[in-house]
Amino acid sequence: MKTMISDSPDRPVASERDRSDLLRDWRSPLRYPGGKQKDLPIFTPYFRSAKEYREPFLGGGSVLLHAIGSQVAQAFWANDANPLLMDFWQQVQTDAIALARLVRSLRDDYDGERRKCDQWVEFRDRYQQKLANLPGDRLHNAARFFILNRSTASGLTESGGMTAAAYCGRFTESSIQRLENLQGRLAGVRLTLGDYRELIHAPGEDVFIFLDPPYFSAEQSRLYGRSGDLHKGFNHQQLAESLRDCPHNWLMTIDNCEAIQDLYPADWADCLPWTKPYSMTNTQGRRSKAGQELLIAKKGLIQC
Q: What is the pTM of this model?
A: 0.85
pLDDT tens by residue, 151-194: 998 656 555 589 999 999 999 999 999 999 999 999 999 999 99
66 and 131 fall within a common domain: no
Tell me, what's the pLDDT at 211?
Answer: 98
157 and 279 fall within a common domain: no
33: in domain: yes
Q: What are phi and psi of 131, to 5 degrees?
A: -65, -40
- The last residue of one of the domains, among 180, 205, 235, is 180
Pairing of strands 73-80, 291-298: unpaired
CATH at residue 93: 1.10.1020
Q: 102 lies in which domain range?
A: 86-180
Q: What is the mean pLDDT of residues 201-223?
A: 85
187: in domain: no
Domains in the chain: how many in total?
2
Q: Which of 82, 264, 30, 43 is nearest to 191 (CA)?
A: 82
User: Which is it for the CA torsion 237, 238, 244, 250, positive or negative?
Assistant: negative
303: in domain: no
Using a 10 angstrom Cβ sphere, with 0-12 exposed, 13-18 middle and 19 or more buried, the burial of residue 267 is exposed
Query: What is d(CA 267, CA 284) in angstroms, rounded to the nearest whole number?
Result: 40
2: in domain: no
Query: What is d(CA 273, CA 293) in angstroms, rounded to the nearest whole number?
Result: 6
